Structure 1
Amino acid sequence: MKISQLSVFLENRPHSLLEPLQALAAAQIDLSGIALADSEQFGILRLVLRDWARARALLQSGGWAVTVTDMVAIQVEDQPGGLVRILEVLAAAGADIEYMYGFFVRRSGRLAMLFRFAAPERAIAALEGAGVTMLGEDALY
């Protein structure tokens, strides 16, 4: 199960994070997940939202460079070692994690982690084989 994430490239300057979020808010587009990574020169704003295609079009029309990335949302047990179990399954399968971040599923109160894998099919097969619950877009929003 894959979900779409937007990656918005930002200049590393004051208020560069505020501007795209203002544009989304003005268009009544609600965020479900957000992460920010930066370097000296630029930042990458990662967004998960229900209406990602509309958000992408809006941001691109505003001059931002936007890419769409496939992510895998994995339900994580809310207890010590919950994430460790997931990581052990992935390590045993040789599934490389490019990056990940936390996500809160509003409807159910479940905890989830969003993962970007180098080989998503391998990771998904390993997780399914271990009985790990993956969340589709219907469960996230």
Structure 2
Amino acid sequence: MAVKQISIFVENKEGRIKKAINTLALANINIRALSIADTTKYGILRLIVSDNEKAIEALEKDGFIVKENEVIVLEVPDEPNGLNSTLAVFDNEGINLEYVYAFVGAKSDQAVVVMRLENMEKAIAALESNNIRILDTEDIKNI
């Protein structure tokens, strides 16, 4: 099960990330997970939000370039080496990890990890065969 993530391309200038976040707030969009990667000229703000369609519409109307893609959201043990044991599944299958970000919720002893992998179908199959819980959109809303 893949989850849709939005990526917002923002100039690396003061106030641009705040403007994107404010655009979402004004559209009543809740951010469930967030990651920022930057270069000298621009950044990529990756988000899992409560309503992708509404978020994309609001952001594009406000002049942002937005892309939607699939990521895998899963639980890993919130303990030393918890993430590494999951990454070993991908190493064993020869699946390349493009990027990862994570957060810990107060409701569980599990950390939540967002991953983009080179071969998403193969990655999902590998996770399922190793009994690693993959979250869907409903699960994320309840975190």
Equivalent residue of 2:31, what SS? coil
CA distance in 1, matches of 2:84, 2:23: 37
CA drift of 1:42 comes to: 0.5
Q: Report the residue type matching 1:21 in the other structure.
A: I
Whether the aligned pair in 1 keeps the contact of 2:27 and 2:54 (CA below 8 Å) is no
CA drift of 1:110 comes to: 3.7
CA drift of 1:108 comes to: 4.7
1:64 — aligned with what?
Answer: 64
2:48 — aligned with what?
Answer: 48
Equivalent residue of 1:73, what SS? strand
CA distance in 2, matches of 1:29, 1:16: 18
CA distance in 1, matches of 2:106, 2:52: 18
CA distance in 2, matches of 1:28, 1:110: 28
**Structure 2: segments with no counterpart, 5+ residues:** none
CA drift of 1:132 comes to: 0.9
Is residue 17 of structure 1 aligned with residue 17 of structure 2? Answer: yes
Whether the aligned pair in 2 keeps the contact of 1:24 and 1:55 (CA below 8 Å) is yes
CA drift of 1:25 comes to: 0.9
Q: Report the residue type matching 2:26 in the other structure.
A: A
Q: Report the residue type matching 2:101 in the other structure.
A: Y
CA distance in 1, matches of 2:30, 2:135: 19
**CA deviation string 1:5-30 (max 9, x = no partner):** 10000011111111011111122211
Whether the aligned pair in 2 keeps the contact of 1:105 and 1:140 (CA below 8 Å) is no
CA distance in 2, matches of 1:13, 1:59: 17
TM-score, normalization: structure 1? 0.95
Whether the aligned pair in 1 keeps the contact of 2:76 and 2:83 (CA below 8 Å) is yes
CA distance in 1, matches of 2:65, 2:44: 10
Q: Runs (4+) of structure 1 moved beyond 2 Å?
A: 103-110
Aligned-residue Cα RMSD (Å) equals 1.3
Q: Report the residue type matching 1:101 in the other structure.
A: Y
Q: Report the residue type matching 1:66 in the other structure.
A: V
Mapping of residues 1-141 of structure 1, within 5 Å: 1-105=1-105, 108=108, 110-141=110-141
Identity %: 31
Q: Report the residue type matching 1:50 in the other structure.
A: S
